[in-house]
Structure 1
Amino acid sequence: MFNQILTATLLLIFNANFILADKAQPNILFITVDDMNWDSVGVYGSKLPEITPNIDSIANEGMLFERAYVQASNCSPSRVVFQSGRYPSSSGMRGFYMVNANYPMLPEVLKNNGYFTAVINKPRDTSFSGDYEKYWDQSIILKGAEKRGAQVYAQGMKDFFSLLDEKNKAFYCLVNIADPHKPFYQDPKSTESGFDEYGPSRIYTSSEITIPEFLPKHPGVKIEMRNYYNSVKRADDCVGAILKSLKDSSYEENTIVIFVSDHGMPLPFAKSSLYQNGIRTPWVMKWPEKIKPGSKDTEHMISAVDFFPTILNICGIRKVKGLEGRSFLPLIQGKTQKYRDHIFAEFNENAIGLVYPTRAVHNKKFAYIFNPWSDGKRTFSSASSFHKSYKVIKELAKTDPTVAKRFNHLSFRELEELYDLENDPDCLNNLAKNPAYQTQLKQLRAKLSQHMSKIGDYALEAIKKRESANELVQFMQEQDMQSIKRAEVIQWKRHKNRVGGTGKNTELFMSPANL
């Protein structure tokens, strides 16, 4: 009898502990990289041998989302979507300035629900404002070469776990790796600045590199692509160091690991564009005992705006008001979800405040892009305009009619663009004026307009007035005026903008919710 009572008691204790363990809030380790194309990753089809074994391991031990996207194709606007759960035009984080929002970011919500929150590198680009303590229990800024060193991230994670041992809390830790952001490994600026102090574990040669179809086959472009892929490799080394630190800690068993890139590679027709190479991202995650290793979702489309509600759902925290995405936890659980056959994206302005409001909707077959700034005169400018590949394209355009046509499109775009993604994944052939594709054009334009109306997008008036060149000019004049005003008075995340230095700017931009 005693043995039976003892056995029953032990079973009760075991079951109670199992239930408590099962209900324990999971830790969230969110790893991002800067400017990495989705197809640069091994499990997404990169043909370079051993390019991303550590990123691949997350997918192999967990789940890969084949159709994952970000909402914006430049740094801070994209990163803040993950933490705000709102589109840039909704949150106010259209560019690289500080925003006064009257709603909480994800780390705030998690803090209020018992989580220890931390960001390692890029807290400025990840937060609405410089009031980091509001969002993060711990924020670490890395500088220079250390932002690209695997050893630095290994030590940073080790220190983080040591600190965590004292807290006895679940954690949300965001680690932002600088690579493969410009300057690339062995770029002249990188060498001169000492950024090459930390090299990749393997160095690829130009003979191993293939130039993507959306860039010209030129030796100068090949050198830049070589340096890019070596930076991709170095980023993967950093991911490996972070994963090893987690494995060496006591937290791995209850930690969800998620990996994404903030947008595409920093080259023409990728970063700062709304083509696939601008907004499609690698998105892999593992969750011990919850996600079956080697899982892959090839059908559903997810995006950055879904991250916030998904994390809350995973952590058992009630959804907050105003989120514009929705949880994809059912997909993680191997189920299906309706209405995941399209995503929306936007670009508003570059890092110094020049405005190019652009909107897009992608589904699995087509991409529609609306460029109200495109008037045949205004020239598009982004960070890539100062790098080698852009300069090569510009020079080749002087003598090569085919390249000239591409350079003209890069510079001026067209009011509307439509691409057949199944047959033209690099978006080389604009079908917007092709009579055979007017049905698709109208359907996607209507879907985008409906979305813009739903979120209160300031550019909705432009798409309504798309047939009036004069009204579009007036729209852009107003956007320029607003941008200049922001540049003169708003706190910026960069040291200069379109009107000069930003050091004396003191105001915070009021998000649409506050206007």
Structure 2
Amino acid sequence: MKKYNIVLMVSDDHGRETLGCYGNPVAKTPNLDRLASEGTMFQNAFCTSPSCAASRSVILTGTHNHTNGTYGHTHHYHHFSAFNWVKTLPALLAEAGYRTGRVGKKHFAPESIYPFDFGGEEREFDRDDVAASESCREFIEADDPFFLYWCSFNPHRDGRTIDSHPCKPNSFGNPVEPFEGDVEETFTDEEVIVPPFLTDNPEARAELAQYYQSIARLDRGVGRLMQVLKDAGKYDDTLIIYLSDNGAAFPASKTTLYDPGMRLPFIVRSPEQARRGVSTDALASWVDITPTVLDAAGVVPEGVSFQGRSILPVLDQESPEDWREEIYGSHSFHELTNYYPMRIIRSKKYKFIWNIAHPLDFSFAEDLWNSATWEVVKRDKPEYFGVRKVDAYIKRPKFELYDLENDPDEIDNLAGKTEYAEMVEAYCEKLKAFQKETKDPWLHKWEYE
């Protein structure tokens, strides 16, 4: 079997509502749109944990973050990390004879179990994705087969606000002057599209304009990487995957298991596809990424088990039969102080959430709490934030159940209604079985709390 080259691109906080191919007419993502037209675009793809490090541990191990030990952020004093015995994707590919390379964001630990032959300092290119892609040219042009893990810092928030703007939005990593050899794409506050999970006000629009600009720069980096592959004559022999680690860095999205936080862009272009430009409704999860890459590489590791499955068999199918009916999610921490464990089951029709720490107020990530978008809530104390009541967002019940076909914004909680009692009980039993199978330390909460 031919060992295909593999490029796995992971962006940072890129919600699916801001790609042209997913229906946004304002966001500028021509290169990702082109990739989708040549491959498969998943309409039901989900991270398992809507937080950077935890999500990336799932992507690179094929196991839930509570299984591999990465309960939250790995950097700074947060200090979570995977167990030393975990077999990661780069390690398994290296053992199979692949050259392994990375560029950009790491957010994994310990580094000893994530071996890469090629890769510089994490912040070497920072927000300059075009330069990051160009730096991979020599690695791509060398011997086959190779695995490249390309990770952008865009469009994550950064530590800078634009004080010249009356709303003082975050800059989302947008440079004061364009990077060398690149031209910035800017957006006005008026032209951006405010998604339902945000309130349409000047602060949200100001931050979305910066967010769109960061996404456009991310897309240019993707385009340069595709060109490097073509220049090397390897584009058609490379499995290319694009996804985001979690949803947009806005309240009601990132760190939540509502759909804006976990239903994400997922685009796959395989050399073996019989049909291209396909849109599939197959349920996909980030636990599927490692099994998919290993499947494309023809690698069947001994003594290693995964909690996902390869999605290659469904790439050509718009609505595959005999595929999974549900996916599971697991979130415990963001930053060390953001303890709010949740477990979920999601099908195409329903979502069930167990808020394990439900007596506590929902915990905010620092950058979301301090965002201009949320400062309005702290200042004006409105009843609603987007389509959801502020009180319902912060004070959550033990269980949430939503009919996604009739309630896509996840507002009408059915869990407390008598006619859904049996469904709630059935979902509870499914979650217990999932937790037991995946060695979830929070399983005991059913008995002790």
Shorter-chain TM-score above 0.5: yes
Quote the residue 1:308 is aligned against.
Answer: 290
Letter in 2 for 1:44: Y
Quote the residue 2:54 is aligned against.
Answer: 77
Q: Indicate if the aligned counterparts of 1:257 and 1:285 stay in contact, CA closer than 8 A.
A: yes
**Alpha-carbon distance in 1 for matches of 2:156, 2:149:** 18
3-state SS of 1:389 partner: helix
2:133 aligned with 1:154: yes
Q: Indicate if the aligned counterparts of 1:184 and 1:231 stay in contact, CA closer than 8 A.
A: no
Q: Indicate if the aligned counterparts of 2:21 and 2:36 stay in contact, CA closer than 8 A.
A: yes
Q: Indicate if the aligned counterparts of 2:158 and 2:173 stay in contact, CA closer than 8 A.
A: no
2:49 aligned with 1:67: no
Quote the residue 1:102 is aligned against.
Answer: 85
Inter-CA distance 447–275: structure 2 relative to 1 (3 Å threshold): same
Matched positions, count: 431
Inter-CA distance 110–382: structure 2 relative to 1 (3 Å threshold): same
Letter in 1 for 2:375: K
Q: CA deviation at 1:395?
A: 2.3
Inter-CA distance 287–380: structure 2 relative to 1 (3 Å threshold): same
Quote the residue 1:128 is aligned against.
Answer: 109
Q: Indicate if the aligned counterparts of 1:313 and 1:319 stay in contact, CA closer than 8 A.
A: no
Inter-CA distance 244–190: structure 2 relative to 1 (3 Å threshold): farther
Letter in 2 for 1:356: Y
Inter-CA distance 186–251: structure 2 relative to 1 (3 Å threshold): farther
For residue 182 of structure 1, the aligned residue among 134, 157, 163 is 157
Letter in 2 for 1:169: D
Backbone CA RMSD of aligned residues: 2.5
Mean CA deviation greater in 331-340 or 447-456: 331-340
**Alpha-carbon distance in 2 for matches of 1:432, 1:282:** 29
Inter-CA distance 341–267: structure 2 relative to 1 (3 Å threshold): same
Quote the residue 2:411 is aligned against.
Answer: 428
3-state SS of 2:268 partner: strand
Q: CA deviation at 1:333?
A: 5.1
2:221 aligned with 1:238: yes
Letter in 2 for 1:243: M
2:431 aligned with 1:448: yes
2:364 aligned with 1:364: no
2:333 aligned with 1:349: yes
**Alpha-carbon distance in 1 for matches of 2:379, 2:20:** 33
Q: CA deviation at 1:427?
A: 1.8
Q: Indicate if the aligned counterparts of 2:60 and 2:88 stay in contact, CA closer than 8 A.
A: yes
**Alpha-carbon distance in 1 for matches of 2:221, 2:262:** 23
Q: Indicate if the aligned counterparts of 2:17 and 2:195 stay in contact, CA closer than 8 A.
A: no
**Alpha-carbon distance in 1 for matches of 2:162, 2:321:** 44
Q: CA deviation at 1:420?
A: 1.9
Inter-CA distance 185–431: structure 2 relative to 1 (3 Å threshold): farther
Inter-CA distance 29–193: structure 2 relative to 1 (3 Å threshold): closer
Quote the residue 1:169 is aligned against.
Answer: 144
Quote the residue 2:76 is aligned against.
Answer: none
Q: Indicate if the aligned counterparts of 2:170 and 2:210 stay in contact, CA closer than 8 A.
A: no
Inter-CA distance 292–446: structure 2 relative to 1 (3 Å threshold): same
Q: Indicate if the aligned counterparts of 1:63 and 1:284 stay in contact, CA closer than 8 A.
A: yes
Letter in 2 for 1:315: A
Inter-CA distance 203–210: structure 2 relative to 1 (3 Å threshold): same
For residue 190 of structure 2, the aligned residue among 177, 195, 207 is 207
Q: CA deviation at 1:403?
A: 4.8
Instruction: Report % sequence identity.
Output: 26
Quote the residue 2:383 is aligned against.
Answer: 401
Inter-CA distance 105–192: structure 2 relative to 1 (3 Å threshold): closer
Task: Give unmatched runs, 5+ long, in structure 2.
Answer: 74-79, 164-168
**Alpha-carbon distance in 2 for matches of 1:81, 1:187:** 34
Inter-CA distance 185–154: structure 2 relative to 1 (3 Å threshold): farther
Inter-CA distance 333–192: structure 2 relative to 1 (3 Å threshold): closer
Quote the residue 2:119 is aligned against.
Answer: 139
Q: CA deviation at 1:187?
A: 4.3
Quote the residue 1:280 is aligned against.
Answer: 263
Mean CA deviation greater in 247-256 or 33-42: 247-256
Inter-CA distance 187–245: structure 2 relative to 1 (3 Å threshold): farther
3-state SS of 1:369 partner: strand
Higher helix share: 1
Quote the residue 2:26 is aligned against.
Answer: 48
Q: Indicate if the aligned counterparts of 1:116 and 1:137 stay in contact, CA closer than 8 A.
A: yes
Q: TM-score, normalised by structure 1?
A: 0.78
Letter in 1 for 2:352: Y
2:228 aligned with 1:253: no
Q: Indicate if the aligned counterparts of 1:367 and 1:420 stay in contact, CA closer than 8 A.
A: yes
Q: TM-score, normalised by structure 2?
A: 0.89
Quote the residue 2:370 is aligned against.
Answer: 386
Inter-CA distance 64–140: structure 2 relative to 1 (3 Å threshold): same
Q: What does the per-residue CA deviation read over 1:325-353, in whole Å, with 9 as the maximum and x for residues that have no partner?
A: 11222112549452412111111112234
For residue 38 of structure 1, the aligned residue among 3, 13, 16 is 16
Inter-CA distance 209–437: structure 2 relative to 1 (3 Å threshold): farther
Quote the residue 1:87 is aligned against.
Answer: 64
Q: CA deviation at 1:185?
A: 9.2
**Alpha-carbon distance in 1 for matches of 2:91, 2:172:** 40
**Alpha-carbon distance in 2 for matches of 1:430, 1:382:** 24
Q: Indicate if the aligned counterparts of 2:49 and 2:331 stay in contact, CA closer than 8 A.
A: yes
**Alpha-carbon distance in 2 for matches of 1:220, 1:142:** 31
Letter in 1 for 2:14: M
Please identify the structure whose Cα radius of gyration is greater: 1
Mean CA deviation greater in 386-395 or 271-280: 386-395
Q: CA deviation at 1:24?
A: 2.2
**Alpha-carbon distance in 1 for matches of 2:162, 2:425:** 44
Q: Indicate if the aligned counterparts of 1:184 and 1:227 stay in contact, CA closer than 8 A.
A: no
Task: Give unmatched runs, 5+ long, in structure 1.
Answer: 1-22, 466-470, 473-515
3-state SS of 1:225 partner: helix
Q: What does the per-residue CA deviation read over 1:246-280, in whole Å, with 9 as the maximum and x for residues that have no partner?
A: 11112222111110011100111110001111111
Quote the residue 1:226 is aligned against.
Answer: 209
